[in-house]
Amino acid sequence: MKAKGIDQMDPSAKEGSGAIRHHDYVILGAGLCGMYGLYRLLEIDADVVVLESHEDLGGTWFKNRYPGCRFDSESYTYGYSFSPEVLSEWSWSEHFASQPETLSYLNYVAQRLDLRKHIQFGSQVSSAVFDDELTLWTVTLVDGRRFTCRVLLAALGLLSAPVKPRIPGVETFAGSSFHTYDWPEGVKLDGKRVAVIGTGSTGVQVISSIAADVDSLVVFQLKPNWCAPLNNSPITTAEMEQIRGSYTDIFSRCDATPGGFVHGPDPRSFWEVPPEERRALWEKLYAAPGFGIWLGNFREILQDEDANAEFSAYIAEKICERVDDPQVAAKLIPKDHGFGVNRVPLETNYYEAYNRSNVELVDLEHTPIIEINETGIRTTHRQFDFDIIVYATGFDAITGSYDRIDVRGVGGISLREKWADGPLTYLGVQVAGFPNFMMLGGPHSASVATNFPRAIEFSVKWVSGLIAYMRGRGCNRVEPTEEAEAEWTDHIRELYQRQLLRNSTSWFTGRNPNIDGHDKTRYLIYTGGAPRYRKTLNEVANDEYRGFHFS
Ligand code: NA7
């Protein structure tokens, strides 16, 4: 029997004329999160459509096609856990899969679960406006099409609003230039003079990957990041069989760790372990695959300045060992923050790229860029000419994809304006004044700082539970109270204070020199760890969804 659709509670919601299409639920975004949201809603026979701005599914993995783009989550911890069929049929070929493989995986899932027919591609949303009287959202696309829905679910991605640098003359360059997020098809790099601006995780992957292919590569570095080896390797058929047989254990392990990875903090106290033993652990972690070096280390490294300084010195030594020219090595060692305070890029031969004769590092702290001009980039030191300029300059993180849509709640209140100084949410799920607008892995949720698929599976299930509860009570509207929202937002701020991450000047704290008003810390992320986040949200659910108002 078809489940009772939310709109059946109030047939007037079906009103609408002409080109307006109504669905009970509209999901924004057909990436990893939107796809799972769709699957869950289809399971309850809901009337749902997904609106995706791009020409195909995959979100982050559809868009990021730059050379070297790959996971730094272990592949088998990144796949969906909910489908036994998918788990038994799909084989990963590398411990950290490349972007093409991940995109193939998502396409395979969509085909296996028959999701495509519910997704409308090329549907870029310009606004979403709530009608208080009808309890109805109207979603308008840039091409003028309109949809109405009772519940609007945002699966907009964390890093999907790319930002180019604010450098004078950026539009005057006569060669080819693009942001890594918009890497054009068919770019030929061999024999080309290439610039890369930016040394975050993306820049590090691009630089390592293209250094040997290009004629010359100049890296423009504002500030270095602490990088560590990915230590990737192929997965053999036998290994994959073994992984397949261990999925229950793998996902339990991910559930038990703060980051949702297989790597959890070392249970010992940094100070109680003798220095030689600490070093032995670090040597092991440095040679091991994945984020163990960051997340499988002593907790104090992320909380205590002295512990952090000692470990940072260890990583600095490694950089010096790997980079031939001591002056270049010195430029690659961060001075303004310790290891792990910003997002740690995992790399493959990144530092070795600087030992190549065709690669040059420009330290913008000493010789800033003055302008980009027709032939290249001019710093305070000299002019560099290029065929290609690559902007690996990051994103308007977490809230950027929301800000691009004019979301209006009760009384026309603007989400963009409400969040001007940073997001305000209850549990990272809803915003006061925006009834029936639900975020699947939005700001202030655990998805932002942890292994994304593990976190969004929880968030999607939790939101499904909230919807089921609302329907079960015969209600058609839910929103958080102002008090609950203020309390949660304060909690997010307070959690930041417990970690050295509070000192980050990266997207973790929403600081971005290329965006107006983003020069102060924005509290974007739930930093209390995934298990605690899940516990809190489950308690809220068990307590009749305290903090939410149903009507
Ligand atoms: P990030 O991590 O935000 O890195 C952006 C980089 O671009 C970073 O090195 C910035 O330097 C640099 N940047 C930004 N503006 C400029 C200007 N104007 N001039 C020179 N350099 C600039 O983005 P990514 O794409 O690398 O990674 C994002 C996430 O994707 C990553 O964390 C993973 O989770 C996946 P700065 O750090 O400000 O000194």
Residue 16's pLDDT is 42
What pLDDT was estimated at residue 14?
A: 42
Indicate whether 307 pLDDT > 50.
yes
According to the model, what pLDDT value does residue 448 have? 82
For a mutational test of ligand 1's pocket, the pick from 223, 393, 396, i.e. the residue with the most ligand atoms closer than 8 A to its C-beta, is 393
Burial call 245-255: b when 16+ CB within 10 Å, e when fewer: eebeebbebbe
Residue 220 Cβ inside 6 Å of ligand 1? The answer reads: yes
Separation of CA 43 and ligand 1 centre (Å): 39
Residue 224 beta carbon below 6 angstroms from any ligand 1 atom: no
pLDDT > 70 fraction of the chain, expressed in percent and rounded: 97
Task: Decide: 404 and 506 in contact? Cβ < 8 Å.
Answer: no
Task: Report the C-alpha gap between 116 and 121 in whole angstroms.
Answer: 9
176: which DSSP letter?
Answer: E
pLDDT (average), residues 507-527 = 90
Ligand 1, atom 10: nearest CA belongs to which residue? 198
Residue 506's pLDDT band (cuts 50, 70, 90):
confident
- Residue 227's pLDDT is 98
Distance of alpha carbon 159 from alpha carbon 508, whole angstroms = 11
Mean pLDDT of 488-510: 90
375-384, 474-483, 495-504: least confidently modelled range: 495-504
Strand partners, 154: 28, 439
Nearest Cα to Cα of residue 532 among 504, 502, 501, 491: 491
The reported pLDDT for the residue numbered 18 is: 53
3-state percent helix, strand, coil for the chain, nearest multiple of 5: 40, 20, 45
Nearest to 157 by CA among 514, 390, 485, 404: 404
- Predicted TM-score (pTM) of the model is 0.94
pLDDT of the residue at 3: 38
Per-residue pLDDT reduced to its tens digit, 5-53:
444 434 343 444 457 999 999 999 999 999 999 999 999 999 999 999 9
How would DSSP label each residue in 127-163? EEEEETTTTEEEEEETTS-EEEEEEEEE---SS-SB-
**H-state helical runs in 198-304:** 201-210, 237-245, 247-256, 275-287, 292-295
Q: Average model confidence (pLDDT) for the chain?
A: 95
Determine the pLDDT at residue 436.
98
Does the beta carbon of 509 sit less than 6 angstroms from any atom of ligand 1? no
Q: How many CB atoms lie within 10 A of CB 44?
A: 16
pLDDT at 274 over 80: yes
